[in-house]
Amino acid sequence: MSALGRGLGRVLAAPELWLGTWLGLVLWASLLGWIVQSVVAAAVMPFGAMEPDHVIFGLLDVLGEHRGAAATVLAALSVSGALSAVIWLVLAPVVIARLSDEGSWSQVGARALPELPAVLVQTLWHGVLRALLVLAVLLSVQPLPAAVGWSLLGLGWLWCTVALDAARVAVVEHGAAPFHVRSAAQGFVYTIRRPALLLPCALMSLGQWLITATALWLSLAGIVDGTPWGPRGLAALSVGLGLWRVATMVARQKDDPPPTPDAAPQE
């Protein structure tokens, strides 16, 4: 069975991981939505009825008139984005450990939590490398048509996401140098040398972004008569896809471990 299939098997074997992270996300998002709704309602009371044929004007009318409400919406979105990134970062070693091993949660926790500082440092190193890569792509695509430039930038971004998975799994599961930039760089090397791994993982990452765009579109398009369960369902799909991507990396590195300090030639 391919790493892709074995990765899917690992995700399906950890339904509590999938369901738990999704439920946490839904609760968090609902809380933010409720805060925004309450602030806006307090600002516009006793008005606020919208005409279905003038939805965009209705929203802009209120947001333009009540800058505090607009700031709340903006703050909610900013906090949401930033906290999502942080929470997923903190959860990364737990997710990797759980997808790697079917042991109890206490065992998973005991194995994952000590790796948290290493994962944080590797993520920072990766961020530096990602910034350099993006800069290099931006500089090199300037003479190209905009569509080509954006496409190359997108491809680079997807590669970075998979490389980060590779580096994190290598640190948590295979004892890669925890604080050295070499481990982050190795993630790029490991993935680019294995296109059969990189391609599906990159597609899964792309799928997550497409689902994100779909959820936003669905909520905006269905603002008059839509249901909140559309975006919530898509969030479950997106989380599942992300777990599958990480699990695929875990499965692949079980068979094809990255070079570690121990495995490096001794001088």
Binding another protein by CB under 8 A: which of 1, 15, 47, 255? 47
CA 134/CA 77 separation, integer angstroms: 24
* 43-53 per-residue burial string, b: 16 or more CB within 10 A, e: under 16: beeeeeebeee
Q: Does 131 engage in binding with another protein (CB under 8 A)?
A: no
* Closer Cβ to another protein, 219 or 260, answer by number: 219
Among 2-10, 131-139, 180-188, 241-249, which window interacts with another protein (CB under 8 A)?
Answer: 241-249
**Binding letters toward another protein, positions 59-88, x by CB under 8 A:** xxxxxxx---x---x--xx--xx--xx-xx
Q: Does 145 engage in binding with another protein (CB under 8 A)?
A: yes
187-206 binders of another protein (CB under 8 A): none
Q: What are phi and psi of 2, to 5 degrees?
A: -75, 165
**Are 152 and 141 contacting, i.e. CB atoms less than 8 angstroms apart?**
yes
Q: Does 38 engage in binding with another protein (CB under 8 A)?
A: yes
| DSSP 3-state of 259 | coil
CA 24/CA 15 separation, integer angstroms: 14
90-109 binders of another protein (CB under 8 A): 91-92, 95
Binding another protein by CB under 8 A: which of 14, 25, 169, 202? 25
Binding another protein by CB under 8 A: which of 154, 218, 254, 260? 218
CA 265/CA 101 separation, integer angstroms: 29
